[in-house]
C-alpha cells in the first residue's frame, strides 16, 4: 500500500492545513500562533478601549523623586 502524498498548499490550501494539523501539529500550530502576533497589533488596542481600559494612564517615572527642603541627617549609625 503506497503512502499518501501530502496535498499541495497552493492548489488546495484548506486540505493542506487539515493535513498539516494532523501530521505535523508542532509546525502547524507554531505558524498559526506566530501569525496571530502581527494581527493582534491592529485588533487588540480597539478591543481594550471597548472593554474599558484606561487610555490616559500615568506615565512611568524615569527618575527617583527628590524631596523638597533639607534632608534629615541620619543618627545612630556612627562607625
Q: Where are the domains of the chain?
A: 13-50
Cα–Cα distance, 48 to 54 (Å, whole number)? 9
Our CA angle for 32, 38, 39, nearest 5°, is: 75
Confidence at residue 79, expressed as pLDDT on a 0 to 100 scale: 59
Give how far the C-alpha of residue 59 lies from the chain's centroid of Cα atoms, to the nearest Å.
21
Q: Tell me the per-residue pLDDT of 22-60, one tens digit each, with 9 for 90 and over.
A: 999 999 999 999 999 998 999 988 888 888 887 667 788
Amino acid at each position: 500500500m503506497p503512502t499518501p502524498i501530502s496535498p499541495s498548499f497552493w492548489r488546495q490550501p484548506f486540505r493542506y492545513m487539515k493535513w498539516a494539523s494532523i501530521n505535523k501539529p508542532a509546525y502547524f500550530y507554531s505558524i498559526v500562533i506566530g501569525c496571530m502576533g502581527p494581527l493582534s497589533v491592529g485588533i487588540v488596542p480597539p478591543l481594550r478601549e471597548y472593554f474599558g481600559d484606561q487610555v490616559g494612564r500615568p506615565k512611568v517615572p524615569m527618575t527617583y523623586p527628590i524631596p523638597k527642603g533639607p534632608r534629615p541627617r541620619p543618627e545612630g549609625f556612627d562607625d
